[in-house]
């Protein structure tokens, strides 16, 4: 078949003109469904538009219970059924302005960045990106190096998956709190961190690069782990991480329409839709149609995709690659271990001291989120023992006693895991009896019967 893609037929400047002349239209509907708010987005289409909308909704901590996407041609229309963190409908229209801003002519274009270790000077901080082989104590060593180099960590996010680690760390100068932009100092920071990352077990060559574009942190972590090939079967650790419940992903042909159909089923959790859409977008696939249902313990997603050149997936090897990459994208955010939350007065070297105590007590950090709110440090760590097994309660209490009982608290894992139902062939289309009713409902032209 002949492959065709609208994005290749429209000059970039003309595309910008079309978007300026036809700004995105966002409507918030609290009438059509009694369980959720319907957010409808209608706009000129460009690669990454769907991801931008999902990213806005995710960053606003909204839960997407259902979604219907249609973007054939040069326009798209998306309908999202969302609720807030308390399970209620939305009462404010802030989402309208934020989505319009994200899709408007001044919106920052989405670019895929290719680097393993980067340093970027921003308006308020310097951003450091790290990837390497995960090992017990690695995070402690990284924060110790930064503390020794008089760097203050103001925020950070760390993911681990299949024995690989990716981290984005935001730092300032310890003395004056401004970004670090001295070339010699940046070179020394990169050199020492690279030395720590390589260790004595990582057989891969590590790279350093200076970042020129700032990207959404969680999207960047997906890109970094994808570039590090954490989805590759050769990197899979046969240890405790192999016990994770794998999502069920199928990739099939839709020959009569010229699409590839991706079906996904797994336990629902926050930010799941962002993770899958982010992966498909950064793998250079275009989502033309999609249906998402996440109203119970499991989530179901169905995507009709093509390459950016308009061609469907044509080889079995590529189908398997898409399956493995989507599985990895879902599992990266599934946290291993006990969640420890640290909240207290921020100070220089706090993270270095806390992670050192973790290391000295045999704890391994599998995931971390570090933020600073005013003068307060608000940090979350997921920890296991050095072998990846659950931590004994007496060890946790010993760590809390050393750090501070009121400062370090134990929280339940919000991403609790349970195995999906029996595997087999599945399709979201089977959940709907009438295609015509489905189409009208997706567009918000008929109301939900629920």
Tens of pLDDT, residues 227-280: 999 998 654 444 444 444 689 999 999 878 899 999 999 999 999 999 999 999
Spatial strand order in the sheet of 285-293: 25-29, 37-44, 75-83, 63-70, 285-293, 298-307, 259-267, 248-254
Give the orientation angle of helix 49-59 with respect to helix 272-282, to 10 degrees.
150
For residue 392, the domain's CATH number is 3.30.70.260
pTM summary value: 0.83
Give every CB contact of residue 95 below 8 A, 6+ residues apart in sequence: 26, 28, 39, 56, 57, 60, 62
From the list 5, 39, 325, 320, the residue with the least C-alpha distance to 161 is: 325
Q: Which residues contact 316 (CB under 8 A, 6 or more apart)?
A: none
pLDDT for 12 equals 60
Residue 221 lies in a domain: no
Give the per-residue pLDDT at 161: 95
Task: Please give the pLDDT value at position 434.
Answer: 43
Residues of the chain with pLDDT under 50: 4-10, 108-116, 207-210, 212, 235-244, 413-424, 429-441, 443-446, 449-450
Looking at residue 266, its pLDDT comes to 96
Same domain, 141 and 159: yes
Verify that 100 and 11 share a domain, yes or no.
yes
Q: Phi-psi category of 183—alpha, beta or left, where left has phi over 0 and alpha has psi -120 to 50?
A: alpha
Instruction: Decide if 355 is inside a domain.
Output: yes
pLDDT (0 to 100) of residue 428: 52
3 state DSSP class of 335: coil
| Structural domain for 380, as ranges | 118-214+335-411
Q: What mean pLDDT is reported for the chain?
A: 81
Domain total of the chain: 2
User: What pLDDT does residue 102 have?
Assistant: 72
- β 338-345/126-133 pair status: unpaired
Residues 322 and 437 in one domain: yes
Cα 317 to Cα 324: distance, rounded to the nearest angstrom: 11
Give the C-alpha distances (Å, rounded to integers) separating 298 from 242, 358, 427, 428. 20, 34, 14, 13
Whether residue 324 is found in the same domain as residue 429:
yes
User: Are 426 and 285 in the same domain?
Assistant: yes
**Two tokens, residue 271:** 């930010």
Q: Is residue 187 part of a domain?
A: yes
Closest by CA to 166, choosing from 324, 325, 366, is 366
Instruction: Count, in order, helices (H) and strands (E) of the chain.
Output: 12, 17
pLDDT at 335: 82
């Amino acid at each position: 078949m002949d492959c065709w893609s609208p994005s290749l037929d429209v000059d970039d400047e003309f595309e910008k003109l079309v978007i300026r002349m036809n700004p995105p239209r966002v409507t918030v509907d609290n009438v059509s469904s009694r369980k959720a708010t319907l957010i409808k987005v209608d706009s000129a289409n460009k690669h990454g538009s769907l991801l931008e909308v999902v990213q806005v909704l995710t960053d606003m901590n909204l839960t997407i219970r259902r979604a219907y996407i249609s973007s054939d041609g040069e326009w798209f229309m998306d309908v999202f059924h969302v609720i807030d963190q308390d399970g209620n409908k939305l009462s404010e229209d802030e989402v309208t302005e934020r989505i319009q801003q994200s899709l408007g002519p001044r919106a920052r274009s989405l670019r895929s960045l290719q680097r393993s270790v980067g340093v970027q000077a921003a308006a308020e901080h310097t951003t450091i990106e790290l990837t390497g082989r995960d090992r017990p104590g690695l995070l402690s060593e990284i924060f110790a190096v930064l503390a020794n180099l008089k760097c203050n960590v103001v925020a950070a996010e760390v993911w681990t998956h299949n024995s690989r680690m990716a981290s984005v760390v935001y730092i300032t100068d310890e003395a004056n709190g401004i970004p670090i932009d001295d070339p010699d100092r940046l070179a020394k920071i990169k050199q020492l961190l690279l030395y720590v990352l390589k260790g004595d077990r990582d057989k891969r060559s590590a790279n350093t690069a200076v970042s020129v574009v700032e990207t959404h942190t969680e999207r960047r972590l997906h890109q970094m782990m994808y570039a590090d090939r954490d989805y590759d079967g050769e990197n899979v650790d046969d240890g405790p991480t192999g016990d994770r419940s794998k999502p069920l992903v199928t990739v099939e042909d839709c020959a009569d329409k010229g699409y590839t159909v991706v079906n996904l089923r797994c336990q629902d959790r926050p930010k799941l839709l962002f993770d899958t859409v982010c992966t498909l977008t950064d793998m250079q696939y275009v989502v033309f149609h999609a249906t998402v249902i996440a109203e119970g313990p499991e989530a179901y997603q169905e995507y009709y995709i093509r390459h950016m050149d308009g061609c469907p997936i044509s080889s079995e090897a590529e189908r398997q690659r898409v399956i493995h990459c989507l599985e990895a994208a879902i599992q990266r955010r599934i946290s291993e271990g006990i969640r420890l939350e640290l909240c207290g007065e921020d100070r220089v070297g706090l993270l270095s001291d806390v992670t050192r105590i973790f290391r000295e007590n045999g704890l391994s950090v599998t995931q971390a989120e570090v933020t600073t709110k005013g003068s307060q440090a608000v940090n979350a760590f997921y920890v296991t023992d050095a072998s990846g097994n659950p931590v004994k309660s007496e060890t946790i209490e010993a760590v809390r006693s050393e750090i501070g009982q009121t400062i370090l608290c134990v929280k339940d894992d919000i991403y609790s895991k349970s195995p999906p139902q029996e595997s087999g062939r599945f399709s979201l289309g089977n959940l709907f009896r009438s295609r015509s009713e489905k189409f009208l409902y997706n567009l918000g032209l008929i109301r939900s019967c629920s």
